[in-house]
Structure 1
Amino acid sequence: MAPAPKRLAAFRLGLDAETRAAWLLRLTGWRILKRRYAQSGGEIDLIAVRGQTLAFVEVKARATLEAAAEAVTPRQQARIRRGAEAFLAREPAYAGYVMTFDVVLVAPRRLPRRLPNAFGQ
């Protein structure tokens, strides 16, 4: 059975937003390690590295950048932290890196905006 049209549109919007976020990160010197990483009850949109910094990135797409910023809930932050713990357990080579939990905001007709260290560990 095919997904409902609204769900399919939301899925495509999410993929487009993640692609735009990855583009922004690459242009600013980050290397994308993983996209849509999901393990142990955690999920992370993008995992990127630059130098000795490892960024766990949540991507939010909304009608405005302000609405996107408001959409990162404490529950999602906990999910991202669980995903980061699972990633580090599977990839111990990154254990000594400085970790950041970033958010990339995406809105139509606007450049994506990265919020470094958007929420703490």
Structure 2
Amino acid sequence: MTALSRRAGYRLGLRAETWAALILRLKGYRILARRYASPVGEIDIVARKGKALVFVEVKARPDMDIAHESIRPNQRARIVRGAEAYLSRHPKYVNHDLRFDAVLIAPGRLPRHLIAAFDAGR
């Protein structure tokens, strides 16, 4: 992968996360963090709605099915580790209901929010 294509991919990811955050806000979520990074994993978006604390993976791909399939088990494990790190730094959310969602983005399609796209055990 060239530096140019990495840079283009990075910009695409930022745009996709911006769209995802907008969609979530319109659905009543409060965005707590974007691109939350810890030594054990990164989470694209951390959001809250009521008593639900939601860790969101954003995937932008040429097609919705490819976007969904791109959330691999190793990424899920990284997101779960990142969520654990987030909770250790923000203990006020420990009693919230935890959920792992995904927002899928593909050209020419409306973004798709998958509620409970995976669980911590998968």
TM-score bucket (shorter structure): over 0.9
**Deviation, structure 1 residue 69:** 0.4
Alignment map for 1:77-88 (pairs within 5 Å): 77-88=76-87
Q: After the TM superposition, which segments of 4 or more aligned residues of structure 1 sit over 4 Å from their partners?
A: none
TM-score, reference length from structure 1: 0.96
Alignment map for 1:32-71 (pairs within 5 Å): 32-71=31-70
Answer yes or no: is 1:21 the counterpart of 2:20. Answer: yes
Question: What runs of 5+ residues in structure 2 fail to find an aligned partner?
Answer: none
Question: Which residue of 1 is the match for residue 73 of structure 2?
Answer: 74
State whether residues 57 and 104 of structure 1, in contact with CA within 8 Å, keep that contact through their aligned partners in structure 2.
yes
Question: Which residue of 2 is the match for residue 108 of structure 1?
Answer: 107
State whether residues 88 and 95 of structure 1, in contact with CA within 8 Å, keep that contact through their aligned partners in structure 2.
yes
Question: Which residue of 2 is the match for residue 90 of structure 1?
Answer: 89
Output one character per residue of 1:62-95: Cα deviation in whole Å (capped at 9) or x when no partner: 0011110010000000000000000000000000
2:58 is paired with a residue of what secondary structure?
strand
Distance (whole Å) between structure 2 residues aligned to residue 63 and residue 40 of structure 1: 30
Distance (whole Å) between structure 2 residues aligned to residue 18 and residue 7 of structure 1: 16
Distance (whole Å) between structure 1 residues aligned to residue 119 and residue 5 of structure 2: 33
Distance (whole Å) between structure 1 residues aligned to residue 3 and residue 117 of structure 2: 33
**Deviation, structure 1 residue 40:** 2.6
Distance (whole Å) between structure 2 residues aligned to residue 96 and residue 111 of structure 1: 33
Distance (whole Å) between structure 2 residues aligned to residue 94 and residue 120 of structure 1: 18
- Share of identical aligned residues, percent? 55
Question: What runs of 5+ residues in structure 1 fail to find an aligned partner?
Answer: none
State whether residues 63 and 108 of structure 1, in contact with CA within 8 Å, keep that contact through their aligned partners in structure 2.
yes
TM-score, reference length from structure 2: 0.95
Question: Which residue of 2 is the match for residue 6 of structure 1?
Answer: 5
Give the number of aligned pairs.
119
